[in-house]
Amino acid sequence: MKLVVIGGNAAGLSAASAARRGKPELEIEVFEKSNYISYGSCGLPYYIGGIVENSQKLITISQDDFLKKRNIPIYTNHEVTSVDFESKTVKILDIKSNKEFEKDYNILVIATGAKPLIFPSLDLIHPRVFKLHTIDDANQIKNSLIGKNVQSGIVIGAGFIGLEMLEAYSEIGIKDLTLVDIQTVFKSKSKDFIFKELEKNGIKLKIGSLVKQIEPLSDERLKVELQNGTILEAGFVQVSIGVVPNTEIFKDSKLKMIKGAIVTDEYMNTNIPSVYAAGDCCTVYHQILKRNVYIPLAPAANKMGRIVGNRIGERPTDPFAGVLGTAIFKVFDLHCARTGITLDEAKQLGYDADTIFIENAEYAHYYPNKGKMSILMVFDAKSHLFLGAEITSPTPLGAKKIDVFSCALSAKMKIEEISRLDLSYAPPFAPVWDPILIAANVARKKLK
Query: Which residues are the active-site residues?
Result: 42
- Nearest-approach distance from CB 47 to a second copy, in angstroms: 8
| 38 is a site residue for a second copy (CB under 8 A) | no
- Nearest-approach distance from CB 59 to a second copy, in angstroms: 8
| 407 is a site residue for a second copy (CB under 8 A) | yes
From 131, 104, 103, 136, select the one nearest 116 (Cα to Cα): 131
Among 75, 267, 357, 367, interactor with a second copy by CB under 8 A: 367
Residues 170 and 178 sit within 8 Å (Cβ to Cβ) = no
- Nearest-approach distance from CB 45 to a second copy, in angstroms: 8
CA dihedral 173, 124, 261, 279 (to 10 degrees): -40
Task: Kindly report the backbone phi and psi dihedral angles of residue 134, in degrees, each rounded to the nearest multiple of 5, phi listed first.
Answer: -125, 170
Among 66, 250, 276, 329, interactor with a second copy by CB under 8 A: 329
| 207 is a site residue for a second copy (CB under 8 A) | no
- Nearest-approach distance from CB 287 to a second copy, in angstroms: 8
Q: Which residues contact 349 (CB under 8 A, 6 or more apart)?
A: 288, 289, 341
Of 33 and 335, the one with the shorter C-beta distance to a second copy is 335
Interatomic CA distance for residues 121 and 142, integer angstroms: 25
Of 22 and 216, the one with the shorter C-beta distance to a second copy is 22
- Nearest-approach distance from CB 447 to a second copy, in angstroms: 11
From 293, 297, 276, select the one nearest 284 (Cα to Cα): 293
Binding mask 281-310 for a second copy (x = CB under 8 A): ------x---------xxxx-x--------
Of 98 and 424, the one with the shorter C-beta distance to a second copy is 424
Residues 155-174 that bind a second copy (CB under 8 A): 160
Of 235 and 340, the one with the shorter C-beta distance to a second copy is 340
Q: Which residues contact 166 (CB under 8 A, 6 or more apart)?
A: 155, 177, 179, 198, 201, 203, 331, 332
Among 364, 381, 384, 446, interactor with a second copy by CB under 8 A: 364
Q: Give, as one character, the DSSP assignment of residue 320.
A: P
Residues 72 and 81 sit within 8 Å (Cβ to Cβ) = no
Of 180 and 418, the one with the shorter C-beta distance to a second copy is 418
| 339 is a site residue for a second copy (CB under 8 A) | yes
Longest dimension (CA), the chain: 71
